[in-house]
Amino acid sequence: MKERNSSNPTGFILLGFSDLPQLERILLLVISIIYILTLMGNTTIILVSYLNPKLHTPMYFFLSNLSFLDLCFTTSIVPQMLWNLKGPEKTISFTACVIQVYFVSGLGSTECVLLTVMAYDRFNAICRPLRYGTIMNPKLLWQLSAVSWISGFVESTLQTTLVFQLSLCSHHRVDDFLCEEPALIKIACVDTTFLENELAIACGLYVVLPLGLILVSYGCIVRSVLRIKSAEGRRKAFETCGSHMMVVVLFFGTVISVYIQPKSKYTQNHSKFLTLFYTVVTPSLNPLIYTLRNKEVKSALKRLLIRESS
């Protein structure tokens, strides 16, 4: 029977990969490099989109939002993770854990909604090209951005409030490398059925529903593109969506894999690697995906570098 602790804990122990010290040393180096690349890549996307007037379009407005979100997302996770990886000390204070749960949940939910908004933008660009400028006006862009951020943090406020009302076990050992709601539910000493059901509903609203809307949008896009007679026209149309689809597959694929796996010792460690992927690796890949596949961003970046060096 789990030992109860009715009072608020002073902190938690994030076990992470503490049973694999050699792996921790490798992860410390790898994650440090990835974090630096994430900061550089996403900051570059924001600066290039802001400084180049040709990129003042809905697509790059939302891309800048995504880059800023990724900067915040990784910064809410990685510094604490690196601190825990560098030595035997694996603790996180109660306040820091609350803050991390709030921002990880809020930013993760925001990204799900934002990726859906970006799919809507691509739908209008390809399926309604003549009305695109009218539909995606500056007022709507700011409204869609606000809806993405506000809806994500409304959900996070509810989740964080509920999870920290639980009576937690006295050992406070969290079998993860960050404070996240599913990991904290596992160390609760009370019935968590209500919270698990509420989490399942939240996953449906913020993961399944957005992914469904994205798939519907791309179904309409594919149908419109196939009507284009020119092979060059079809290629250009698909290129404008390719980067976004790659990001969607990477992010939603790993998030869904984490939440649908059966619970076991093996899948828990496997789940940690998947969580590492979508919290650390994916934000570093987003700028790479968009710059390598986008001639406009590459040319804008080259002009910016030439101007700075001259």
What are 164-188's pLDDT values in tens digits?
988 877 678 888 888 888 888 888 8
pLDDT higher for 209 or 191?
A: 209
Report the alpha-carbon distance of residue 160 to residue 184 in Å, rounded.
11
pLDDT digits (tens, 9 = 90+) for 8-50: 567 888 888 887 888 888 999 999 999 999 999 999 889 888 8
Q: With H, G, I as helix, E, B as strand and everything else as coil, classify residue 19.
A: coil
In this predicted structure, the answer to whether residue 300 has a pLDDT above a threshold of 80 is no
Average pLDDT, the chain: 85
User: Helices in the chain by DSSP H: which ranges?
Assistant: 21-51, 58-75, 78-85, 94-127, 132-135, 138-163, 181-185, 193-203, 209-226, 231-260, 265-276, 282-292, 295-309
CATH T-level fold of 8-309: Rhopdopsin 7-helix transmembrane proteins (1.20.1070)
The structure's pTM equals 0.89
Question: What's residue 140's pLDDT?
Answer: 96
Report the alpha-carbon distance of residue 43 to residue 53 in Å, rounded.
17
Cα angle 118, 120, 126 (rounded to 5 degrees) comes to 105
Question: What's residue 86's pLDDT?
Answer: 85
Contact in structure between 102 and 110 (CB atoms under 8 Å): no
- Which residue in 6, 24, 7 sits closest to 15, CA to CA? 24
pLDDT digits (tens, 9 = 90+) for 48-80: 888 888 888 999 999 999 999 999 999 999 999
Report the alpha-carbon distance of residue 23 to residue 130 in Å, rounded.
54
pLDDT digits (tens, 9 = 90+) for 92-150: 999 999 999 999 999 999 999 999 999 999 999 999 989 999 999 999 999 999 999 99
